[in-house]
């Protein structure tokens, strides 16, 4: 087994280390979501934490890590006799992004359950992580149904596996840690709320600190064992402090004054629901225990708010997480009790000398920390720039867009846009299983087995079922698509009001893509060429940022834009052949760039029609006289055209438009 990088040797990232330690002291806090750019020691810090956790007492031979002092009466390996156990190190279990549902929650042998009436259960990763750490790297890329299962188990402290009336339950209490790079896509707000704490991390811009990071990493790579030995004393001190804080935690008093500050803070920042209040209370209590105190102070409430509230204030995927610290201080001061009027003793347990809730420091190199995502500037009205190019126009207010879907039945990644064969959804039929049986179609299985009962010598009431009788349920749900935006940024679109409306429409479609779990890409064309402003990605907020800064002006190379989009789709098919594409061309239909622009754009459009690519043209033409060029383009693409007004879900047009062009879904 490789030697992990020592937790106390991580340079900077104070908020990250503190959040992890608070969860080690009190797992009831609810886990940590670590957000940040690549190469910021997210995974290193999480893996290092497992070495600091105290050993756990377990029942000998129990696959579910039951505590011998109070074994789980419902344990599938039970019943256990109290006191029959030993010790083992706390585990850190990693959940791969591509894991199956059976790998996460465990697998039930349906064949044995039907034929023998035996609950043969193979534990999954949730059982392995019980009383340890469950780590999900790139949690934002995990399938939604796996995230739901994971967070439900974390909230209930138990995992349930139910298949056609046969169920197994086992304890699953663990420290949940997820890491993610926001550039690769966001978690839904509902899922963000299920993580107790969140931390934003970024690489330090201080040269001295960066030098120390490189120095320690190189020393570790050269001699992992020797490097860890040099930090053994610091590691032992932190481990002892965790044990002491856990012992002190039940004695910490959360007074009415602190509770009022917590409630007032959550109300002032308008967070939804009551989970934030509960998480803040548990975090403040853990902070006091970590600092060696038995009373929760205002400084604990303040630190708890900074860790527990930023991610709960996001209203849409384009909002940057963060907290107004001036407003936080004003709220805490307004609701401060008499005991909080003065500053704590700087030499007492709440001050710097006693820890003050901060992680252990290893000297002057540890003064770095997490950096919040910078807020976007307000800016002024767009001004014209030289060379015929105009400064970016602001997007108009987004609206709820109509549903645009790909015709037919796909088999892509789970999502919420187009019809597809999926593992989750309504049952539409049955088939013979290919590989392991995951979703039993009970009626079809009984129907297949029934004609053979006499030949199989059935004598009792039970049904004699064999492997060949089993039938897998086929289900229909929804898939996520690749929504590729092809946006005309030429001079004909550059009138300020028109481009503002166009950006508002694209922003609305991006919001819709976020909610439907799509990948998005952005191709723009103007002047003499087309550019891939954003390659296909799951990060719709990155697409929104590129859209916001999109300049306009010049001629209209429509053919170049279509050909560039065709090339993007060709490459993406090689990477992800199961994901179907929806091309959204935003233009007034004019083509003025290059030789024979109209004929060339027509030939480029017919490439999409020949390959059966679903498409829609958002017609941006305005004014009393309209040429209808966008409608002609839609016909050549084999798609359909909608105006900006028709794109609204609440428009007079009324009906939801499904992208089917001149073809009918099979």
Radius of gyration of the chain, Cα coordinates, nearest whole angstrom: 29
Q: Which two tokens stand for residue 490?
A: 């030429």
164 torsion bin: left (phi>0), alpha (psi -120 to 50), beta (else) = left
Catalytic residues: 275
Q: Which two tokens stand for residue 629?
A: 């060029």
**Phi, psi dihedral angles at 347 (to 5 degrees):** -100, 0
The Cα 356–Cα 349 span in angstroms is: 7
Distances in Å between the alpha carbon of 16 and those of 21, 43, 284, 285, 488?
A: 9, 11, 16, 18, 43
Q: What is the three-class DSSP state of 386?
A: coil
- Cβ neighbours for 457, distance < 8 A, ≥ 6 positions apart: 464
Q: Which two tokens stand for residue 500?
A: 């503002």
Q: Which two tokens stand for residue 603?
A: 């030939």
The Cα 279–Cα 24 span in angstroms is: 15
Which helix (H) or strand (E) segment holds residue 547: the answer is helix 540-548
- Cβ neighbours for 170, distance < 8 A, ≥ 6 positions apart: 64, 72, 74, 75, 76, 106, 123, 126, 127, 130, 158, 159
Enumerate helices (H) and strands (E) in the chain, giving the number of each. 20, 20
**String of DSSP letters for 443-506:** HHHHHHHGGGTTTTT--SSS----GGG--EEEEEEEE--EEEEEEE-SGGG-SHHHHHHHHHHH
Is the distance from CB of 507 to CB of 398 less than 8 angstroms? yes
- CA-wise closest residue to 425 among 470, 471, 480, 479: 479
- Cβ neighbours for 105, distance < 8 A, ≥ 6 positions apart: 124, 126, 149, 153, 159, 160, 161
Is the distance from CB of 417 to CB of 409 less than 8 angstroms? no
Q: Which residue has 């796996």 as its token pair?
A: 146
């Amino acid at each position: 087994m490789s030697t992990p990088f020592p937790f106390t040797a991580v340079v900077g990232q104070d908020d990250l280390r503190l959040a992890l330690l608070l969860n080690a002291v009190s797992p009831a806090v609810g886990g940590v979501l670590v957000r940040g750019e690549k190469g910021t020691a997210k995974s290193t810090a999480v893996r290092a934490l497992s070495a600091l956790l105290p050993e756990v007492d377990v029942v000998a031979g129990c696959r579910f890590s039951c505590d011998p002092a109070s074994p789980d009466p419902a344990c599938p390996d039970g019943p256990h006799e109290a006191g029959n156990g030993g010790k083992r190190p706390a585990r850190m279990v990693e959940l791969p992004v591509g894991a199956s549902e059976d790998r996460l929650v465990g697998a039930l042998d349906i064949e044995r359950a039907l034929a023998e009436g035996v609950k043969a259960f193979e534990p999954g990763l949730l059982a392995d992580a019980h009383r340890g750490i469950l780590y999900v790297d790139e949690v934002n890329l995990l399938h939604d149904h796996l995230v739901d299962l994971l967070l439900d188990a974390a909230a209930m402290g138990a995992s349930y596996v139910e298949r056609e009336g046969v169920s197994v339950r086992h304890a699953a209490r663990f420290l949940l840690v997820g890491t993610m790079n926001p550039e690769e896509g966001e978690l839904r707000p509902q899922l963000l709320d299920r993580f107790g704490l969140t931390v934003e991390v970024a690489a330090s811009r201080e040269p001295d600190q960066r030098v120390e990071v490189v120095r320690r990493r190189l020393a570790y790579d050269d001699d992992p064992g020797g490097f860890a030995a040099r930090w053994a004393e610091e590691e032992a001190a932190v481990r002892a402090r965790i044990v002491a804080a856990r012992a002190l935690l039940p004695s910490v008093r959360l007074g009415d004054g602190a509770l009022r500050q917590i409630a007032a803070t959550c109300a002032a920042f308008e967070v939804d629901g009551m989970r934030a209040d509960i998480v803040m209370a548990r975090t403040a209590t853990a902070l006091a225990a970590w600092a060696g105190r038995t009373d929760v102070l205002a400084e604990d409430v303040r630190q708890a708010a900074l860790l527990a509230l930023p991610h709960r204030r996001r209203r849409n995927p384009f909002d940057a997480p963060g907290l107004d610290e001036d407003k936080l201080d004003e709220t805490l001061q307004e609701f401060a009790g008499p005991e909080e009027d003065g500053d704590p003793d700087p030499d007492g347990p709440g001050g710097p000398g006693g820890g003050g809730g901060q992680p252990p420091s290893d000297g002057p190199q540890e003064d770095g920390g997490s950096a919040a995502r910078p807020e976007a500037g307000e800016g002024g009205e767009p001004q014209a720039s030289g060379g015929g190019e105009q400064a970016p126009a602001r997007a108009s207010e987004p609206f709820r867009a109509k549903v645009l879907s790909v015709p037919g039945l796909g088999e892509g990644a789970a999502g919420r846009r187009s019809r597809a064969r999926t593992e989750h959804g309504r049952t539409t039929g049955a088939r013979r299983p290919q590989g392991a049986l995951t979703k039993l179609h009970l009626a079809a299985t009984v129907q297949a087995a029934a004609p053979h009962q006499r030949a199989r010598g059935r004598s009792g009431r039970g049904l004699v079922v064999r492997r060949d009788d089993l039938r897998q349920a086929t289900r229909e749900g929804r898939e996520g698509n690749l929504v590729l935006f092809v946006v005309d940024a030429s001079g004909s679109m550059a009138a300020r009001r028109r481009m503002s409306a166009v950006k508002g429409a694209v922003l609305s479609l991006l919001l819709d893509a976020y909610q439907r779990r799509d990948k998005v890409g952005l191709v723009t064309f103007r002047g003499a060429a087309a550019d891939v402003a954003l390659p296909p990605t799951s990060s719709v907020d990155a697409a929104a940022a590129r859209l916001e800064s999109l300049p306009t002006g010049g001629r209209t190379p429509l053919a170049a834009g279509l050909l560039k989009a065709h090339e993007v789709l060709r490459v993406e098919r090689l990477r992800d052949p199961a994901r179907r594409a929806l091309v959204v061309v935003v233009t007034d239909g004019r083509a003025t760039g290059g030789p024979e622009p109209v004929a060339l754009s027509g030939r480029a459009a017919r490439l999409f029609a020949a390959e059966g690519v679903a498409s829609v043209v958002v017609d941006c033409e305005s004014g009393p006289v309209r040429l209808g060029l966008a409608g002609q383009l839609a016909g050549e693409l084999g798609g359909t055209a909608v105006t900006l007004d028709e794109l609204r879900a609440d428009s007079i047009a009324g009906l939801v438009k499904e992208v089917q062009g001149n073809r009918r879904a099979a």
